[in-house]
Structure 1
Amino acid sequence: MAEIQAASAPRSGKPRATKKAFRLDMTPMVDLAFLLLTFFMLTTTFSKPTVMEVAMPTKPEPQEPDASVSAKRALTLILGENGKVRYFFGLNEAAVNPAAPKPTLYTTDLSPNGLRQVLLSRQRQSPAPIVLIKTEAGAKYQHLVDALDEMNITDQKKYALVEMNRSDEELLKSRRW
């Protein structure tokens, strides 16, 4: 049992009235604190992490024809440093066909007035666009998460994470500003 004892004062020559030591039993208070702590720990619900489900495609069968992306339906996003998003409509076919014209490269950011407006306007132009998301070397993981959030906000049905190819890197080098 816990108790608090007062220290006795040194005695002088004068007789004084004896004081009885105050005794406070702390056991019930400690018991109550632990009971409350246990109760609240057992009855709380911890926050569940929020995750976004990403549907991964299955490996195609060898006899299936290759389902390529139509250039008319494609929108290619390239995520860069500092939240910059460079995009172009269609595909960059310079790797396949060197005589193909280079696409026009536009720049925006990840704000609601930036990428979201681009995606919404593309949805209005084409009923089912396919968004190809690529990342530069300086892009951060948070930029990719923000871009995927914009895909969910704008209700994009088809989008894919694609690796940068040499023709995309050459396009970016030729259009640096």
Structure 2
Amino acid sequence: MAEMNTGSSDRGHQKGTRSKKLSTRVDMTPMVDLGFLLITFFMLTTTMSQPKVMKLLMPAVPKDNERPNVISESKSLTILLGANNSVSYYEGIGNDPLHPPVVKHTTFANNNGIRDIIINKRDEVIKVHGRDDLTVLIKADKSANYKNVVDIMDEMLINHVERYAMVDITPEDEAYLK
């Protein structure tokens, strides 16, 4: 531990008394050992941050002689993301050329924005079908920015939309954005 050297040096016998000077030497080995033990303890007991990932559910692959899953027009909402932070939407899938969809424009605003559209559509689906089967199709144009895609994904999480998909935009949908 601590060591005290009390060696006296007799250089000569002089008359008078001189104070004895003692040299002190403190052994730091136990302090270093304690430091390493503490570092090791905190490294082993800390929890590492978990990677943050988004849960992705893919549709089941249809088996032979089985029709693929079809999305109902009355349970779906299509959101189009375009240039300059533009957000458009229409109800349904929009794949019927005889009855083109009615495209409406909105924003990411908190009031009267896309959040209210999603909430109203979900309420309508629950009212008509008796349960929450809302499916949202998100289609981003090439000129849409990444921030808008992240914002719309956040809206899906905020509104607890369980079924949504990022889908390739069709030429018809691109024409709706212009």
TM-score (norm 1): 0.69
- Contact in 2 for aligned 1:90/1:103 (Cα 8 Å): no
Contact kept, 8 Å, 2:86 with 2:105, in 1: the verdict is no
| Residue 116 of structure 1: aligned partner | 115
Equivalent positions of 1:71-150 (< 5 A) are 71-80=73-82, 84-93=86-95, 97=97, 100-109=99-108, 112-113=110-111, 114-127=113-126, 128-141=133-146, 143-150=148-155
**Matches of 1:83 and 1:20, distance apart in 2:** 79
Residues in 2 aligned to 1:21 and 1:85: alpha-carbon distance in whole angstroms = 80
- 1:34 and 1:47 mapped to 2: Cα distance? 23
Q: What's the % identity of the aligned pairs? A: 42
Deviation of 1:81 (Å): 5.1
Give unpaired runs (5+ residues) of structure 2. Answer: 1-17, 127-132
Structure 1 counterpart of 2:166, one-letter code? L
Residues in 1 aligned to 2:141 and 2:22: alpha-carbon distance in whole angstroms: 80
1:167 equivalenced with 2:166 (yes/no): no
* Contact persistence 1:102–1:171 (CA under 8 A): no
Given the superposition, is the C-alpha separation of residues 32 and 84 from structure 1 closer, same or farther in structure 2, using an over 3 Å criterion?
farther
Aligned mates of 2:163, 2:36 — CA distance in 1: 54
Counterpart CA distance in 2 for 1:17 and 1:81 is: 88
| Aligned counterparts of 2:28 and 2:144: Cα–Cα separation in 1 | 59
Q: Deviations over 1:114-133 (max 9, x none)?
A: 33222111111222332111
Structure 1 equivalent of residue 65 of structure 2 = 63
Alpha-carbon contact 1:133-1:162 (below 8 Å) kept:
yes
How far 1:58 moved relative to its partner?
1.7
8 Å contact from structure 2 (residues 76, 93) kept in 1: yes
Letter in 2 for 1:108: T
Deviation track 1:54-91 (CA, whole Å, cap 9, x = no partner) reads: 21012223422344333333211123456543222223
Q: Is the 8 A contact 1:92 1:167 kept in 2?
A: no
Asked if structure 1 preserves the Cα contact closer than 8 Å seen for 2:77 and 2:91, the reply is: yes
User: 3-state DSSP class of the match of 1:123?
Assistant: helix
Structure 1 residues 127-156: Cα deviation after superposition (integer angstroms, max 9, x where no partner): 233211112224455543443343233232
Match of 2:14 in 1: none
**How many residue pairs align between the two structures?**
154
Instruction: Give the match's secondary structure for 2:34.
Output: helix
TM-score by length of 2: 0.69
The correspondence for 1:26, drawn from 25, 28, 33, is 28
Amino acid at match of 1:63: N
